[in-house]
């Protein structure tokens, strides 16, 4: 499979940041996704019988994934581009094809035909949800945006018989806010779980990284499959929010992949700089999100061993309960 603005009083800054982010994305080179084991058949378990590794850098296209709302004839078209902070809105959109009509046939990728990632442009408020599609090709999902700001919505999908794609579009929740900044951190805490990230992202090279999950100091050895894997890793390049989605090596039930405490990935990033990483994992029937902030420059020993504490509820830590979300 195939990667902060201000509102109201910060409107001028928003325009400047948006323009600068786009320029940065064009300057640093291509990003995309190449996942081993995806045979493109569209079967419910497509790509899960073999090695599940993936690299971030892939489909030989010039523009980084997620930076455009239209690509290769496909367009992400939201019904409305505004949300209301502090409430839950029904967010609806369509994917239109080269003929301009709404696409209604999608292959299943990791148990779903559509993955929607929503994050504020300062990389806070991360959500990973799964919309439901109506017969006319309109996808709808409830989105609870806690705070005002400009958000990036990524639609991660594969048209039936086509190539996997990630399209992005901005939506806004009106109001003032102070954008957050994140210091480098390789240890995340969420709901009593501690997740540690080991390994270096080396630009232009396949980089092994490992995430280790513990709870109350004890290794978690009974992680549960979530979307046909023990973990899903989304990386967003700081500055332009180029989108990278990596799946772990191995798969549940393959006879060789342990259910924790370690989840292994192979990622390849094309440029130096900062990245925000979000790991989805499931344990005890609940999906949680661990967040990290890393840079491709330097080594693990040179980076501060800071800890990021995630929100304490599943909805606040990147997951909202909605029909078809796949938490079970």
Residue 167 to residue 85: CA distance in whole angstroms: 23
pTM of the model: 0.75
Mean pLDDT of the chain: 78
- In the prediction, which pLDDT does 16 show? 32
- What DSSP character marks residue 50? S
pLDDT at 186 over 80: yes
The residues of the chain that CATH labels 2.60.40.10 are: 8-35+57-173
- Determine what percent of the chain is predicted with pLDDT higher than 90: 62
Q: Name the residue among 258, 264, 230 with its Cα closest to residue 53.
A: 264
Residue 52 to residue 50: CA distance in whole angstroms: 6
Are the CB atoms for 199 and 210 separated by under 8 Å? Answer: yes
How do residues 227-286 score in pLDDT, each as one tens digit?
Answer: 999 999 999 999 899 998 888 999 999 999 999 999 999 987 768 889 999 999 999 999
185-309: which CATH topology?
Immunoglobulin-like (2.60.40)
How do residues 165-177 score in pLDDT, each as one tens digit?
Answer: 999 999 999 999 8
The residues of the chain that CATH labels 2.60.40.1930 are: 185-309
DSSP state letters, 120-188: ETTS-S-EEE--EE-TTSEEEEEEEE-S-EEEEEEEEE-BTTS--EEEEEEEEE-S--PPP----EEEE
Residue 322, helix vs strand vs coil: coil
Q: What is the largest CA-CA distance in the chain?
A: 56
Residue 218 to residue 226: CA distance in whole angstroms: 21
Residue 207 CB coordination number (10 Å): 18
How do residues 74-88 score in pLDDT, each as one tens digit?
Answer: 999 999 999 999 999
Q: Which pLDDT band holds residue 317 (cuts at 50, 70, 90)?
A: very low
- In the prediction, which pLDDT does 247 show? 84
Are the CB atoms for 1 and 65 separated by under 8 Å? Answer: no
Q: Name the residue among 5, 4, 68 with its Cα closest to residue 31.
A: 68
- In the prediction, which pLDDT does 46 show? 36
Judge residue 226's burial from the number of C-beta atoms within 10 Å of its C-beta, 0-12 exposed, 13-18 middle, 19 or more buried: buried
DSSP state letters, 237-250: ETTT--EEEE--SS
- In the prediction, which pLDDT does 8 show? 37
Mean pLDDT across 203-215: 91
Judge residue 159's burial from the number of C-beta atoms within 10 Å of its C-beta, 0-12 exposed, 13-18 middle, 19 or more buried: buried
The CA-CA-CA angle for residues 261, 262, 266, to 5°, reads 165
DSSP state letters, 3-48: -----GGGHHHHHHHHHHHHHHHHHH----EEETT------TTTT-
CATH of 8-35+57-173, one of 3.40.50.2300, 2.60.40.10, 3.40.50.720, 3.10.310.10: 2.60.40.10
How do residues 85-144 score in pLDDT, each as one tens digit?
Answer: 999 989 999 999 999 999 999 999 989 999 999 999 999 999 999 999 999 999 999 999
């Amino acid at each position: 499979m195939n990667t902060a603005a201000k509102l109201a009083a910060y409107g001028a800054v928003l325009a400047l940041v948006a323009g600068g982010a786009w320029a940065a994305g064009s300057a640093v080179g291509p990003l995309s996704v190449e996942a081993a084991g995806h045979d493109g058949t569209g079967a419910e378990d497509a790509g899960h019988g073999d090695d599940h590794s993936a690299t971030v850098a892939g489909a030989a296209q010039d523009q980084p994934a997620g930076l455009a709302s239209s690509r290769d004839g496909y367009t992400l078209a939201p019904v409305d581009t505004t949300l209301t902070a502090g409430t839950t809105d029904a967010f609806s959109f369509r994917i239109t094809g080269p003929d301009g009509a709404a696409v209604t046939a999608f292959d299943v990728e990791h148990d779903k035909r559509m993955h929607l990632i929503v994050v504020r442009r300062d990389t806070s408020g991360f959500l990973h949800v799964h919309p439901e599609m109506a017969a006319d090709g309109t996808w709808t999902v409830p989105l609870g945006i806690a705070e005002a700001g400009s958000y990036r919505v990524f639609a991660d999908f594969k048209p039936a018989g086509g190539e996997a794609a990630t399209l992005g579009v901005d939506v806004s929740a009106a109001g003032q806010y102070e954008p957050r900044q994140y210091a480098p951190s390789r240890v995340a805490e969420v709901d009593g779980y501690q997740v540690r990230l080991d390994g270096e992202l080396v630009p232009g090279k396949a980089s092994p990284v490992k995430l280790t999950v513990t709870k109350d100091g004890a290794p978690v050895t009974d992680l549960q499959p979530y979307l046909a894997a023990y973990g899903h890793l989304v990386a967003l390049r700081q500055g332009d929010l180029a989108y990278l989605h990596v799946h772990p090596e191995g798969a549940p039930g393959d006879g060789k992949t342990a259910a924790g405490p370690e989840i292994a990935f192979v990622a390849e990033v094309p440029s130096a700089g900062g990245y925000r990483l979000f790991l989805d994992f499931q344990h005890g029937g609940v999906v949680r999100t661990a967040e990290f902030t890393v840079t491709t420059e330097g080594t693990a020993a040179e980076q501060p061993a800071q800890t990021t504490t995630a929100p304490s509820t599943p909805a606040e830590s990147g997951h909202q309960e909605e029909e078809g979300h796949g938490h079970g």
